[in-house]
Chains A and B, each alone.
Chain A
Amino acid sequence: MEKQAVDCARKAFLSGRSRPLQFRLQQLHALHRLITEKEAEIASALKQDINRSQFDTPLFELIGLENDINLAESSLADWAAPRSAKKNLLTLSDQVYTQAEPLGVVLIIGAWNYPWALTLQPLIGAIAAGNAAVVKPSELSKHSASLLKELLPQYLDQELYPVVTGGVPETQELLRQRFDHVFYTGNSTVGKLVMEAAARHLTPVTLELGGKSPCYIDKDCDLSVACRRITWGKFANCGQTCIAPDYILCEPGIQDRVVEEIQRTLLEFYGEDPKSSPDYGRIINQHHFDRVIALLEGSTVTVGGKNNREECYIAPTVLRDVSPHARLMQEEIFGPVLPIVPISGVDEAIRFINDREKPLALYVFSQDKKVIKRMLSETSSGGVTVNDVIMHYTINSLPFGGVGNSGMGVYHGKHTFDRLSHHRACLIKSLAMESMNQVRYPPQNAAQLKRAKFFMLTRLCSCARFTCVWAVLATMVALGLLVALLVVLLKDTPV
């Protein structure tokens, strides 16, 4: 069944109908209608999957998608147009440009924590770039998966963009097929398996993985605002966000206040009993519930800790004075549990971060520009938000992706289009002007070599200094000519 869907998509792609811009725009427009017309159904599916609140659906899933579709619709002609490149002397009269072309059939494997955003945002770029796409939503968010399977064919071309549902065996069967790009969002363990499967077909991949996103709070900052922002980012979607601040690093001196501020904010956001707040989510299933609870072993809870296995409920939980060796610090938490690891200052924080795998996101809260500059230049991560959390994800002109263990490749906005296109280098010469070409033909001698170097590999296209000198000389000559013209004109003017 999986093979059938892939073969069908490939046949549809080879028909060429996904290539014309008009078609791509029409499909993007249809996707937009799906999102706006079916918002209520999507919200209902998310509520059943993960107890997502009604407002979180547009906030976390749909606004971002709408933005991306709007951007693609208004910019597609630009993105798909040839991009000219600078020439050298030999190619001065030729056309030199790159042309974005579709790759073919793309496999998109979505994730369960933001089942719509993480499955459809890559699809927007795939469609914009002229590809066919096989969409495989996560089986863990099963209501969203079956809703997507029902809705997508109602709005989009059924053959070009089939939805394949199922679990591990179905995904493995899909990965045995040949694709022209595989786009996977999920964890590093499965990421390696995806890359391995793709390797057999020499298929390029984009892997949006995760890791432990550190959040450094400098003693020199507005703790109240900082903690509000952190609390929002950490506990939204019940902590199940790949770029949620995973743990806090701060000096022992401010730890008490940090805990206090977070506690105060939690009260403000979710009330006395988060379990009864309509805005507080649940863990996706009991397996993940058990996983998160097990991480607490060996550490002491400072705030929260209440939980209910049947309801997959874990209260917003904060732990102070957590050891770097605690279980909590050994893997990505992906839940509403926030450890605070005390460190002596920014030096130790940087060392701590660099001793670990490069995270998907890094957060720094400070009012000291020097601290911010050091954090930016002495660490690496997929992305960074300074003095807030998560927000870099929401700007579609910024590339979103990981580095090292947190992933490879970037997307969002134009970056998705570029990622899912092949940028073909094109040189269109004519058979005329052959005299210039003679320099490269044998039989060869030293004089001819010298001329060839000049024509073929001149640094004309590269010299910033050369251009500057040219600009100055040209300006001087122009001014000189202007002066001469004025002199001539004035001289001839009768008194």
Chain B
Amino acid sequence: MECQGEVIAGLRAAFHTGVTIPLEFRLTELKGLLALMEENEAQILDALHRDLRKPKFEAAISEIEIVRNDICFAINNLKTWMLPEYVGTNLATKFDDCFIQRQPFGVVLIIGAWNYPLQLILLPLVGAIAAGNCALLKPSEISQATEALLAELIPKYLSKECYVVTCGGAEDTRRLLENRFDHIFYTGSQAVARKILLAAAVHLTPVTLELGGKTPCLIYGRIDMKTAAKRLVWAKYFNAGQSCVAPDYILCTKETQDALLPAIREALEAFYGPDPQKCPDVGRIVTDKHWNHLMDLLGKSKGNVTIGGESTQEEKYIAPTVLVDVDETDILMQEEIFGPILPILTVETLEEAITFVNAREKPLALYVFSDEPQVVTTVLESTNSGGFCANDGILHMTLPTLPFGGVGASGMGCYHGRYTFETFSHKRACLLRSWGLERIGALRYPPYSDTRLSWLRWATTTKKSSCSIM
């Protein structure tokens, strides 16, 4: 690994030249990134296939299109985002200019993850570029083909001085974090996130952490089971269950479970055919180590496999699997599953399901399927989560106009669309005072008196808006 300190010093020097500040530069770089996505689609799909056997459709939608969409969104709106934001003043500052200026932080570190190796590193990069920062990209070493591709393509399309890709393993990342950055953006696990926060504290570096957790999926009440099952199956087994916002487990009544299982079977058959292993639309587990871990969980679970359960080690394949008779002490309920294994826990009432969810860490996402609006509202109002989606899964994170991020143990900060720009910007309060009106200004000077104080109060107080007519 090249000398990290030198690379970071180089980025800092580039930032200090001011080259990343003008709108034109940022647009040029964003267009460069767009060209990278558009001109290398085949190589990208190939790398993703080699890393995760990612089906072409999934790769196209969840890696290429989502990034292209975000880049276009930024290009179309960046000029507006960069404008000073004028805010309200009080009487004493009526003739002054009061606005918020957005400024880049400087050199930011973006650490990607292996499950969506392109999206999770490039979406933050879009915002970092848009906000005028320089960036050091550290893609996950687990998704090796994509890592190598990024290392090859980024310097071809973007400014080599301002955006650098660095490769390496856990030890290299640890050493990287000893350096000072102006913002760290990390996607991954809670355990590593703690280490990153501790390293960031040394330099007082702000961080964004996109973590995970067990995403609950409540199914309750009157429901179109066939449609619900299709959406649930799509969201769960997309990328072989390796999504931070995949529904991790289901909470429903026994009656609902009885209706749900055949609907899931039907959806799986419709999607993947009778033998999912042969279906090109089914992905694989990323590494042997991860496959072994999932098989271990499956083996130790006290639940009953009612759908799927087949697996092949050489291919790192696990069939879309559903287990019933799982309870909260089960090994499957102790950590985020991150695979194509779906446990169903039964409850008697909606309240019981809500209590179950609230007894656990706040998840990154929370899903509820129901045709009854009251059920949806009750769950929404009684729980907390990073994001929430009713009657579908994952989709809330595909809109660039919604903030994507966790809360509590599932993360801090958010991004996508304009939110990424805001994440990588410092909002600087600016007040341009006029030279005049010094007489009013003088009210604040000593020696003090009661009269001065009451004039000052009048000039500076925000009045509570009161309408005596209404």
A465-B395 contact in complex given A408-B204, A442-B57, C-beta closer than 8 Å: no
A457-B398 contact in complex given A101-B384, A384-B428, C-beta closer than 8 Å: yes
A241 to B403, CA, bound (A): 36
Beyond known contacts A385-B433, A387-B433: 16 more, CB 8 A cutoff: A53-B448, A58-B453, A85-B402, A192-B202, A280-B446, A387-B432, A392-B430, A404-B182, A407-B204, A409-B206, A424-B385, A424-B388, A427-B402, A437-B227, A440-B61, A444-B56
Contact A392 B431 (CB under 8 A): yes
Chain B residues whose CB sits within 8 angstroms of the CB of A378 once the complex forms: 18
Q: Which of A204, A367, A382 contacts B435 (CB 8 A)?
A: A367
B23 within 8 A of partner (CB): no
A277 within 8 A of partner (CB): yes
B399 within 8 A of partner (CB): yes
Contact A70 B464 (CB under 8 A): yes
Contact A457 B65 (CB under 8 A): yes
Contact A429 B453 (CB under 8 A): no
Contact A464 B77 (CB under 8 A): yes
A383 within 8 A of partner (CB): yes
CB-CB nearest in chain A for B209? A202
The smallest beta-carbon distance between B206 and chain A, in angstroms, is 4
Chain B residues whose CB sits within 8 angstroms of the CB of A453 once the complex forms: 60-61, 65
A377 within 8 A of partner (CB): yes
A461 to B402, CA, bound (A): 12
**Can you list, as one digit per residue, whether each of B86-119 has a CB less than 8 Å from chain A (1) or not (0)?**
0111101100001011010110000000000000
Chain B residues whose CB sits within 8 angstroms of the CB of A85 once the complex forms: 399, 401-402
A268 to B446, CA, bound (A): 8
Chain B residues whose CB sits within 8 angstroms of the CB of A395 once the complex forms: 87, 89-90, 93, 98, 429, 431
A54 to B209, CA, bound (A): 46
Residue in B228, B270, B429, B431 with the greatest tally of chain A CB atoms within 10 Å:
B429
Q: Which of A207, A387, A398, A463 contacts B429 (CB 8 A)?
A: A398
The smallest beta-carbon distance between A451 and chain B, in angstroms, is 11
A442-B227 contact in complex given A391-B433, A456-B61, C-beta closer than 8 Å: no
Contact A269 B396 (CB under 8 A): no
B66 within 8 A of partner (CB): yes
Q: Which of A58, A195, A410, A432 contacts B427 (CB 8 A)?
A: A410
Chain A residues whose CB sits within 8 angstroms of the CB of B204 once the complex forms: 188, 191-192, 195, 207, 209, 404-405, 407-408
A264 within 8 A of partner (CB): no
Q: Can you pick out 6 interface pairs between chain A and chain B where the beta carbons lie within 8 Å of each other?
A: A55-B453, A59-B456, A404-B182, A425-B386, A431-B391, A457-B65
Contact A399 B57 (CB under 8 A): no
Contact B434 A387 (CB under 8 A): yes
**Can you list, as one digit per residue, whether each of A389-405 has a CB less than 8 Å from chain B (1) or not (0)?**
00110111111110111
The smallest beta-carbon distance between A404 and chain B, in angstroms, is 7
A4 within 8 A of partner (CB): no
The smallest beta-carbon distance between B340 and chain A, in angstroms, is 14
A154 to B56, CA, bound (A): 64
The smallest beta-carbon distance between A470 and chain B, in angstroms, is 14
A229 within 8 A of partner (CB): yes
A331 within 8 A of partner (CB): no
Residue in A86, A99, A180, A202 with the greatest tally of chain B CB atoms within 10 Å:
A202
B residues whose Cβ falls under 8 Å from a Cβ of A: 16, 18, 21, 55-57, 60-61, 65-66, 68-69, 72-73, 76-77, 80, 87-90, 92-93, 98, 100-101, 103, 105-106, 182, 190, 193-194, 197-198, 200-202, 204, 206, 209, 211, 223-224, 227-228, 230-231, 234, 270-273, 279, 281, 369, 371, 376, 380, 384-392, 395-404, 407-409, 412-414, 417, 426-435, 438, 441-442, 444-449, 452-453, 456-457, 460-465
Chain B residues whose CB sits within 8 angstroms of the CB of A104 once the complex forms: 408
Chain B residues whose CB sits within 8 angstroms of the CB of A58 once the complex forms: 453, 457
The smallest beta-carbon distance between B380 and chain A, in angstroms, is 7
Chain B residues whose CB sits within 8 angstroms of the CB of A397 once the complex forms: 87-89, 98
What DSSP secondary structure best describes chain A's contact surface? mixed
CB-CB nearest in chain B for A60? B444
A88 to B417, CA, bound (A): 13
Segment touching B, from A90-98, A158-166, A290-298: A90-98
Q: Which of B106, B279, B371, B435 contacts A442 (CB 8 A)?
A: B279
A476 to B324, CA, bound (A): 61
CB-CB nearest in chain B for A101? B384
The smallest beta-carbon distance between A82 and chain B, in angstroms, is 10
A457 to B182, CA, bound (A): 32
The smallest beta-carbon distance between A130 and chain B, in angstroms, is 11
Q: Which of A222, A448, A462 contacts B76 (CB 8 A)?
A: A462
A400-B412 contact in complex given A55-B453, A431-B227, C-beta closer than 8 Å: no
A386 to B388, CA, bound (A): 44
Chain A residues whose CB sits within 8 angstroms of the CB of B281 once the complex forms: 442-444
**Can you list, as one digit per residue, whether each of A443-457 has a CB less than 8 Å from chain B (1) or not (0)?**
110001100110011
A462-B201 contact in complex given A424-B384, A449-B60, C-beta closer than 8 Å: no
A297 to B103, CA, bound (A): 37
The smallest beta-carbon distance between B408 and chain A, in angstroms, is 7
Contact B444 A96 (CB under 8 A): no
Q: Which of A204, A222, A425 contacts B396 (CB 8 A)?
A: A425
A404 to B399, CA, bound (A): 31
Question: Which 8 A-B pairs have CB atoms at the shortest separation, nearest pair first?
Answer: A199-B197, A55-B448, A442-B281, A444-B57, A398-B429, A397-B87, A279-B446, A195-B201
A257 within 8 A of partner (CB): no
Chain A residues whose CB sits within 8 angstroms of the CB of B66 once the complex forms: 457
Contact A459 B72 (CB under 8 A): yes
Q: Which of A56, A90, A195 contacts B200 (CB 8 A)?
A: A195
CB-CB nearest in chain B for A452? B61
A403 to B100, CA, bound (A): 14
The smallest beta-carbon distance between A263 and chain B, in angstroms, is 15
Q: Which of A188, A191, A391, A425 contacts B404 (CB 8 A)?
A: A425
A24 to B80, CA, bound (A): 35
Chain A residues whose CB sits within 8 angstroms of the CB of B409 once the complex forms: 202
Contact B432 A386 (CB under 8 A): yes
